[in-house]
Amino acid sequence: MQIGLFVPCYVDAVFPEVGVATYKLLKYLGVNVDYPMKQTCCGQPMANAGFEQKAVPLAAHFEDIFQGYDYVVAPSASCAAFVKLNYPRLLEGKHACQTSDKMMDVCEFLHDVLKVEKLPGVFPHKVSIHNSCHGVRELHLSSPSELNIPRFSKIRDLLSLVEGVTVVEPERIDECCGFGGMFSIEEPEVSVQMGTEKLDSHIATGAEYITGPDSSCLMHLQGIARRQNKPIEFIHVVQILAAGL
């Protein structure tokens, strides 16, 4: 099994340590992982801004780069969901689409494909899970609170394999943080208010860290926390899973 590692824009430009942690963890778990150097943006920002045709060449390039791998894995639920759900429509009649069925967030891949039962890391801290909207409702990383179905959380399952970690969740477990890509730019006041309320609900758990599968959401909350001098740290979930590597 050969894996193509896709490192999204936010991770590459702002949080490269998340990409490094993903690579190290996959290698530790015995995965044959490759990082194609010619990869670029998946096209989500353009499509979300209403310029879908601008996203098509990026989607076609993504397909050319990653089509030969068994799975494409990314440390981003949002970007993984975009490729999985939107590429078939964007590329219809324009370019072959073979990666959408192989695209997975790293947490999804670890939980559902590798079925990891043991991790080497130690992280002696209390962490609050931030369940990002795309992860919950498009990749099914956890059960949506609006549905009357049994509760599950793949991220909680994975974190339970790390020695020393204490996992909590805010009262409204999957309420949006207000980032929403272009939403935070077009509606900054609403976005910040949503983020402040979400941040306060995480802090109320007594957690030392907020963790989740999307660096974009964590960046949004981190910016609010710093501007408001609120005492909590932020870490991508894969960094906890790879702790000590």
Q: What is the pLDDT of residue 236?
A: 98
**What is the three-class DSSP state of 107?**
helix
Q: Which residues of the chain have pLDDT under 50?
A: none
What pLDDT sits at residue 179? 85
pLDDT of residue 133: 94
pLDDT at 193: 95
The pLDDT of residue 138 is: 95
* Coil vs helix vs strand at 121: coil
**Vertex 79, ends 216 and 103: CA angle to 5°?**
145
pLDDT (0 to 100) of residue 203? 97
One DSSP character per residue, 40-80 reads ---SHHHHHTT-HHHHHHHHHHHHHHHTTSSEEEES-HHHH
Domains of the chain: 2-113 (3.40.50), 126-241 (3.40.50)
Q: Residues 187, 188, 190, 193: what is their CA dihedral angle, to the nearest 10 degrees?
A: 170
Please give the model's pTM, rounded to 2 decimal places: 0.94
Residues in the chain: 245
**Packing angle, helices 215-227 and 188-203, rounded to 10:** 90
Which residues 6+ apart lie within 8 Å of 148 measured at CB? none
Tell me the residue ranges of DSSP E strands in the chain.
2-5, 32-34, 71-74, 103-105, 126-129, 166-168, 209-212, 233-236
Cα 140 from chain centroid?
12
Q: What angle do CA 137, 141, 142 make, to 5 degrees?
A: 80
164 vs 29: CA distance, rounded Å:
20
Is residue 87 within 8 Å of 100, Cβ to Cβ? yes
CA distance 150 to 144: 10
Q: Say what the pLDDT of residue 181 is.
A: 79
Coil, helix or strand at residue 89:
helix
